[in-house]
Amino acid sequence: MGMDKIIEKKKGIQKKHIFWGLGILIIGFLIVKLAFGDHSSVFRAEKDKLTVSNVEDGIFNDYITVIGQVEPITTIFLDAVEGGTVEERFIEEGAIVKKGDVILRLENRQLYQTILNSEAALAEKENYLRNTRISFETELIQSKRNILDSEYKLTRKKRTFNQYETLYKEALISKEDYLQAKEDYEYESNLLVINKLKARNDSIMRATSMITLVSDLGKMRQMLDLVHERLDDLNVKAPVDGQLGMLDAEIGQSISGGQRIGQVNVLDNFKVNAKIDEHYIDRIVRGLAASLDRNGTNFSLIVKKVYPDVREGQFKIDLVFEGQTPENVRTGQTYHVKLELGESQKALMIPRGGFFQSTGGQWVFVLNDAGTEAVKRQIKIGKQNPQYYEVLEGLNAGEKVITSGYEMFGTNDKITFR
């Protein structure tokens, strides 16, 4: 049997060692690349198609420009006092009116019927009062006659009693005749008292009834006068001097009592009503100064009223002129008003641009010194006016930033220019 041969190990670097070394180098490179490499995503763009602006160190004017419409300070609304159908229009919208001018006339046949019924009721009441007065006069005459008759009888009974009393004392008549004469006299005396009392009470009752009837009749006359005034209310009149701004009433249209059908604008003075983004609601207060330019002349205004409600992301304010008012000012004119929010101050600024809609002012793309690329940087925006944003943090004067819209950049962190 032969002996096994011992194979000696090869010395030196073998082929497998080379592969292991290369693998270790590659893994190490990847680790270093992951740890220290630039992982930012890159977007390539043409620089000439972007808006690049300088960060400026200057005076920031704290104002906004708002668009307002001219309105009269005082507006008187036209409400139909009496309902009816529009029969005729005398004045059209936009016309100058004087107080008391008839603008339109209404027709209301039901009101005419009410007037006829009121007049008939008044005539009936007057006739009743007349008959009552005649009845009271008759009763008064009868009362006087009853008193006169009682006084006449009392006089005769008294004379008889006096005669019988004398005869009775002389024993010329019986006691019965004397007592009967006395009783007759006392009866007539008491009856006269009763008739006078009745006459007085009847007189008081008649007077009270007459007062009541006359009062009722007066009230009915007043009611009839009021109904006749309602007839005059069918003529819708201008309440003040001014301009008829709106009239919502056509011939044949049915108008309800109390319905608003128009307005009269008093042209003594005007205001400017403007809508402002709700972003500024905490900064707009009464008394803020404003101005507008018209044909090279500057006019001063002041915030007179701030409306508290916000609708569709906006709230309203009223501005009034201080001092001079533009010539030929008309209701409905549009003015661009410069509204001062605060005093001017030194600040870092960048021009307004479309980038704000994408970033909300939280970051921008800042160009490097060579202008070959731009990198995303966090910033902080303060106030803004129609031209500039105030920069509070993140930028330095002289740097360049992209201020056009960022929609095309997506989520990339770096932009290189071709």
> What is the length of the chain?
418
Domain boundaries, the chain: 42-62+345-417, 110-232
Given the candidates 3.30.200.20, 3.40.50.720, 3.40.50.150, 2.40.420.20, the CATH classification of the domain at 42-62+345-417 is 2.40.420.20
Q: Is 78 exposed, middle or buried (0-12, 13-18, 19+ CB in 10 A)?
A: buried
118: its two tokens: 């009121």
* Distance separating alpha carbons of residues 104 and 234, to the nearest angstrom: 8
Mean pLDDT of the chain: 85
The answer to whether the CB of 209 falls within 8 A of the CB of 110 is no
* Distance separating alpha carbons of residues 313 and 311, to the nearest angstrom: 5
Please report the pLDDT score of residue 1 as a whole number: 44
Q: What is the pLDDT of residues 339-390, one digit of tens each?
A: 988 888 899 999 999 999 989 889 999 999 888 999 999 999 988 888 899 9
pTM for this prediction: 0.51
Per-residue pLDDT at 213 exceeds 60 = yes
For the residues 300-306, what does the mean pLDDT come to? 92
Please report the pLDDT score of residue 34 as a whole number: 53
71: its two tokens: 């309105």
Contacts of 58 (CB under 8 A, 6+ apart): 346, 347, 349
Nearest alpha-carbon partner for 400 in 357, 365, 364, 367: 367
| DSSP at 187 | H
For the residues 212-232, what does the mean pLDDT come to? 80
Q: What is the pLDDT of residues 384-410, one digit of tens each?
A: 888 899 999 999 999 999 999 999 888
Question: How many secondary structure helices (H) and strands (E) does the chain include?
Answer: 4, 22
Nearest alpha-carbon partner for 62 in 316, 347, 298: 347
- What does the radius of gyration of the chain's CA atoms come to, in whole angstroms? 54
The answer to whether the CB of 321 falls within 8 A of the CB of 291 is no
DSSP 294-311: ETTEEEEEEEEEE----B
Confidence of residue 323 (pLDDT cuts 50, 70, 90): confident
Q: What is the pLDDT of residues 28-78, one digit of tens each?
A: 666 655 554 455 578 888 888 899 999 999 999 888 889 999 888 888 888
Per-residue pLDDT at 112 exceeds 60 = yes
Confidence of residue 129 (pLDDT cuts 50, 70, 90): confident
216: its two tokens: 């009722």
Nearest alpha-carbon partner for 149 in 199, 195, 197, 200: 195
Per-residue pLDDT at 262 exceeds 80 = yes
Please report the pLDDT score of residue 362 as a whole number: 93
32: its two tokens: 């270093």
Backbone phi and psi for residue 76, each to the nearest 5 degrees, phi listed first = -105, 125
The answer to whether the CB of 337 falls within 8 A of the CB of 301 is yes
SS3 category, 309:
coil
62: its two tokens: 């704290």
The answer to whether the CB of 81 falls within 8 A of the CB of 106 is no
Query: How many CB atoms sit inside 10 A of residue 355's CB?
Result: 24
Please report the pLDDT score of residue 393 as a whole number: 92
For the residues 72-95, what does the mean pLDDT come to? 88
303: its two tokens: 């915030």
Helix (H) or strand (E) holding 235: strand 235-237
